[in-house]
Amino acid sequence: IDPAEFWPAFHREEDPAKRAEVTYLHDDAERLIEEIHAAGRPVGIVTHCQQFLTDPVLDHLDVRDWFDAVVCCTEETGWKPDAAPVRRAIGELGLDDRVLTDGGTAGVLAGDGESDIGAAWNAGLDGIHVERHGPEHRGRCVLGEYRVESFDDLVRSG
């Protein structure tokens, strides 16, 4: 399906309030965010979800204050696995220089999809893949520098 036709049709059908009501938060994500904040590190999110859908979800889940940067992928910002939206989040977090000079050691990108890991690599970051769906669902494995069944694995390991 041509993306130029698909996305406008898809967005006409989306109801932001309904999307927010059915969105749930994995418990391990909350624990990971708490750990990152306790370490004094910033947290950003890069999502394919559009702003008109992202805002109600963040508000419904009461997690807006968890993130120091929220970047929604668009034609202008780019789409994961492109590095552009990730670099935008890095800039909003005030980490541009550290990432560019440290070769990606200033952060990681954690996600549950292959586009997340691809975006991490394209932006010069390590990728952490959390297996939420199983390779049988997507038809292949997703491998990053780190692969975890739950973000709790990261919290336990420090």
pTM of the prediction? 0.87
Instruction: For residue range 7-58, list pLDDT tens digits in order.
Output: 789 888 999 999 999 999 999 999 999 999 999 999 999 999 999 999 999 9
Task: Identify the structural domains of the chain with CATH numbers, from first to last.
Answer: 3-156 (3.40.50.1000)
Q: Cα(first)–Cα(last) distance of the chain, in Å?
A: 43
Angle formed by the axes of helices 84-92 and 114-122, nearest 10°: 70
| pLDDT higher than threshold 80 for residue 138 | no
Q: Is 21 helix (H, G, I), strand (E, B) or coil?
A: helix
